[in-house]
Amino acid sequence: MKEILEKNVEELSINQNAINTLEENNINTVCDICKNSRIELTGMGLSNSQINEITVFLQLQGLDLKPNHAQKNIILDKCLARR
């Protein structure tokens, strides 16, 4: 799991425009993506289809985005605790 969280966004098989937008917003790793909610990603300029593409990738890895409300990302916290 650690390798996935440390993976650079440039290595992901997602839309290049989405990668560029993530990098412009200092989102450089999968771990950085997981620290954001759909609302936060939308605020960065990502489209719903780009966010869906990212979400599918994360879920296939057993990860998810931060919930849209103030709750912690429990899945991410568990992964980081294993480091």
Structural domain of 34? 2-81
Quick: pLDDT tens for 10-24. Answer: 999 899 999 999 999
- Residue segments in the chain with a per-residue pLDDT below the cut of 70: 69-83
| Secondary structure of residue 67 in the 3-state scheme | coil
| Secondary structure of residue 17 in the 3-state scheme | helix
We report the CATH number of the domain holding residue 12 as 1.10.150.20
| Secondary structure of residue 19 in the 3-state scheme | helix
Token pair in block for residue 48 = 């719903």
Label residue 38 exposed, middle or buried (CB < 10 Å: 0-12, 13-18, 19+).
middle
Q: How many domains does the chain have?
A: 1
pTM score: 0.80
